[in-house]
A and B are shown apart, each in its own frame.
Chain A
Amino acid sequence: MSAATEVSGFVRRVTAMVRKEFIQLRRDRVTFATMIMIPLLQLVLFGYAINTTPRHLPTAVFVHENTGASRAILAALKNTAFFTIDHEPQSEAEAEYLVRSGKVLFLVEIPAGFERSLRRGETPQLLVAADATDPVAAGNALSSLSGIVTTALKRERFVDEAGSQPFEIVQHRRYNPAGTSQLNIVPGLLGTILTMTMLIFTALSVTREIERGTMESLLSMPIHPVEIMLGKIIPYVAVGIFQGVLILGAGMLLFDVPLEGSLALLSLATLLFITANLATGYTFSTLAQNQLQAVQMTFMYFLPNILLSGFMFPFAGMPVWAQWLSETFPLTHYLRMVRGILLKGASFADLQTDFLVLIGLMLAAMAIAVARFRQTLD
């Protein structure tokens, strides 16, 4: 055989193969859709939603005196894009609750007698408590705070234009005073690793039965879809608990992650979170035609989870639509809970909103899965 015919044969065979692959790809609508959706999703999420120098950080201002200076500071803080003043607590307990429950990232406290001290040139203290469980979010905003307040006070003539900074900012980095990123990352990893593994386990479970042909047998036997679902979820709850203990144990041993809150509460949150993810994965399994599609759906879902939940980038820095989207991810709520319990010593009362939403998400996923489960081969 001549070299030319050998080459043309090679080209023909490769072309035939390429053609076949394209035909199969075109027939597999879900794969095709993910091919388009993953890059688009990445672009939109990275481009619009993620902001490593976040603005509009939820902040509470606790004003102990009603004076011109404190009003000037409040107005200035409200005017900047860095902070959003959502709360003006009236008591110490309320202020404390806002920080511990994660409703605000900053608590600015203007003490009584601030203006008088200012006028006397006594360099009064402005107290700022920052939730440092997310060091990235806290850092940038803190550094801009003194500038904002100084400008405001100078503009309102409380202090001289030329003088040095007339007050002192006392910063208190709560929960993670050293700003150690491991304290932020380890609880976050607990959530993301569990999300990934739990989703994959159940996402494959129904499609595997269909692909192997065992589903036909299973469906011909007297078992209800809810029973199949529970039977497939429960074993992985045990796996998830084992993984959780492993990650947390390693985190405590290697990175000195503290456990400020209750272990029972953490276990309950983790159990709910694991189940919610397993139910979500199971839902994918009922939607996908085969195992490949199930894996692709899992990745489609996992990507925004990682990017928007507050694991990688500050939650507070995202636009509102992205925040709302991420509220539908169990991971977002779990991160708040696990950071709250581990680092802040948060109680059930502090986290009850996240608990309720997580339960809601879990039940919704289960309901969709059972409704979608094909009891026949139609």
Chain B
Amino acid sequence: MSMPGPEVAIEVEGLSKKFGDHVVVDNLTMRVRKGQIYGFLGPNGSGKTTTIRMLCGLLTPDAGRGTCLGLDILTKAREIRQHVGYMTQKFSLYTDLSVRENLEFVARLYSVPHPEDAAQEAIKRLGLEGRGKQLAGDLSGGWKQRLALGACILPSPQLLLLDEPTAGVDPQARREFWAQIHDLAADGLTVLVSTHYMDEAERCHEIAYIAYGHLLAQGTVAEVIAGSGLVTYVVEATREAHTPGATLAAIGKALADDPAVAMVAPFGVSLHVSGHDAAALEAAISPHRTEAGVVWRQETATLEDVFIDLMQRSKDNMS
């Protein structure tokens, strides 16, 4: 591995972690450039949280090496912590402290000068004026998330590690949250964010998809989709169809077991049919293309199609 240049925020190689006999992260190699928003995607239990924890020194890797902000994750965990903001999946500020008390506590731990002023400024920036004295535990989900992010960026970190920060947050709050993340990245902050939401993945500069501890795809959204080699057809029920649900379900059922078809997924009054071999897929669907009440068209695979396909293939490979 070459020395990471100044433009690299995270560089890890061969990172592995086992809990007992269970391999949670297996030989993971990735590189995140500075100022990027890097999306970390994967099903539950795929090792996203474990990887994030290894990056900030909360877990010791069993194998592999890497650097975070140019500091060795194995030996420089303490220095890394000084410059990294980690937002845990579960709200982990003190529910029995007020908003202000929580922020001041964080400011003091990071030796931020004038912690009271810093907390006040953060409260203002977060739009939490008038709620400074409210207990953090009494805040709603969206406000808790906002406070947690505020606490993370209060000590002016160079790298943010956000573990499913928008789980259970309404769309409005999510949109505001992402606007803030982009502002921070524009100021030079690197953000690694794990998520389950496809729309959020598409807001990232680059994404990585991991499943069962393996990194399966990495790159921009367009690169990941192109790299999947997935061909997708959309079948849509027209207004003439008397029972659009039944018609689509019948097509789906007929195609599901065809070896040329990788997956069939219903979306309202349409169906996504995907496969890897364009010619074989076309042959498979051709008997259904003339059915009444439906229209077929070819489309670019969505990110979700790609991820579900990746996950299924990796599951097949595992078993």
Contact = CB atoms under 8 A, between A and B. Distances in A.
B91 interface: yes
Interface string B8-37: 000000000000000000000000000000
B92 A221 contact: no
B143 interface: no
Contact of B88 (A216, A222, A224, A376): A216
Contact of A222 (B58, B82, B92, B94): B82
A91 interface: no
A322 interface: no
A214 interface: yes
B110 A214 contact: no
Contacts of A215: 92
B86 A220 contact: yes
A214 B81 contact: no
A219 interface: yes
A163 interface: no
A217 B60 contact: no
A378 B106 CA distance: 24
Interface in A353-378: 376-378
Contacts of A222: 78, 81-82, 109-110
A224 B93 CA distance: 18
B139 interface: no
Nearest to B84: A220
Nearest to B53: A377
Contacts of A212: 92, 94-95
B81 A216 contact: no
Nearest to A221: B109
A213 B88 contact: yes
A209 B318 CA distance: 37
Interface residues of B, number: 21
Nearest to B78: A222
B42 interface: no
B90 interface: yes
A223 interface: yes
Contact of A223 (B59, B95, B109): B109
Contacts of B59: 376-378
Contacts of B191: none
Contacts of B57: 220, 376
A145 B78 CA distance: 68
Of A214, A217, A222, A378, the most chain B CB neighbours within 10 A belong to A217
- Where chain A touches its partner, the secondary structure class is loop
B234 interface: no
A214 B106 contact: no
B90 A376 contact: no
Contact of A220 (B60, B81, B91, B94): B81
A220 B78 contact: no
A214 B58 CA distance: 13
A72 to B, nearest CB: 72
Interface in B89-112: 90-95, 106, 109-110
A377 B59 CA distance: 6
A229 to B, nearest CB: 15
Contacts of A216: 58, 88, 90, 92
A220 B151 CA distance: 12
B60 A214 contact: no
A76 B108 CA distance: 70
Interface in A196-254: 212-217, 219-224
A213 B91 contact: yes
A221 B85 CA distance: 8
Contact of A214 (B84, B86, B92, B109): B92
Interface in B72-87: 78, 81-82, 84, 86
17 contacts: A212-B94, A213-B91, A213-B92, A216-B90, A217-B88, A220-B84, A220-B86, A220-B88, A221-B81, A221-B106, A221-B109, A221-B110, A222-B78, A222-B82, A222-B110, A376-B59, A378-B60
Interface of A: 212-217, 219-224, 376-378
Interface of B: 53, 56-60, 78, 81-82, 84, 86, 88, 90-95, 106, 109-110
Given A213-B90, A222-B110, A377-B59, 17 more contacts: A212-B92, A212-B95, A213-B91, A213-B92, A214-B93, A215-B92, A216-B88, A217-B86, A217-B92, A220-B58, A220-B81, A221-B106, A221-B109, A222-B109, A376-B57, A376-B59, A378-B59
